[in-house]
Chains A and B, each alone.
Chain A
């Protein structure tokens, strides 16, 4: 009887491990749909004066914006102005990987714009951008 009980416990543990594995694989970046207004000829841009770590990103896959990367204005969404860089690729990641642009308002990163999904992913706390004068 005790042997049987041990088998059931072992089997249950295995099922829990497998199911939790599946759940992790299905984790996805949560975004809200947003309307993007493209404006590529604005000419505004900024260059980062130091590295910026972004840690409150989806699924805890942190990102770092590199020092000296230049970010160009490319349009806007309701949550802020959208900037992208040709010096650095920015992505968000859970089980899948999404190209992302920065959404900035009053010198702070508010979140990310996903150009393929036309979605916005917010940061819990805006992050100040150190820019070169």
Chain B
């Protein structure tokens, strides 16, 4: 029983330490629009604690832009075009979409259980879905390769 409590305590501590710890979305109030109207903006967020220890790379058109962190969010601006977002855990999951000038897209990451470990996968969601879920997320840091 004591061992079980210790295990549960460690698991909880590990889960919490693996969550994003930056400023809350509602405090930071990031612009929902890209910096210029010639660009588009992509938000990435993960509003779940489940599988917090899993922090796979997020690749956009093959280039790493950050990690998928539990209760974390960040965004990137990109030129209009076709985009493919990939996370790779036990299996590789892709989500593909079109980004237009001045447009903002939202990629929500979820976790489901695989045979040996959890899978983290992205989904394209609309703004009405994303904004309430983003409210409890914290800034996961500037995207890699962004100025």
Contacts and interface: CB of A to CB of B under 8 A. Distances in A.
B93 A96 contact: yes
Nearest to A18: B115
B123 A91 contact: yes
Nearest to A99: B97
A116 interface: yes
Contacts of A88: 126
A89 B82 CA distance: 16
Contacts, number: 43
A1 B10 CA distance: 44
B125 interface: yes
Given A18-B115, A89-B125, A116 B82 contact: yes
Contacts of A25: 91
Interface residues of B, number: 18
Given A25-B91, A116-B84, A97 B96 contact: yes
B82 A115 contact: yes
Interface string B91-112: 1011111100000000000000
Nearest to B107: A97
B124 A95 contact: no
Contacts of B122: 97
B125 A115 contact: no
A21 interface: yes
A117 interface: yes
Interface of A: 17-18, 21, 25, 87-89, 91, 95-99, 114-117
User: 3 tightest CB-CB pairs across the interface, nearest first?
Assistant: A99-B97, A97-B95, A96-B94
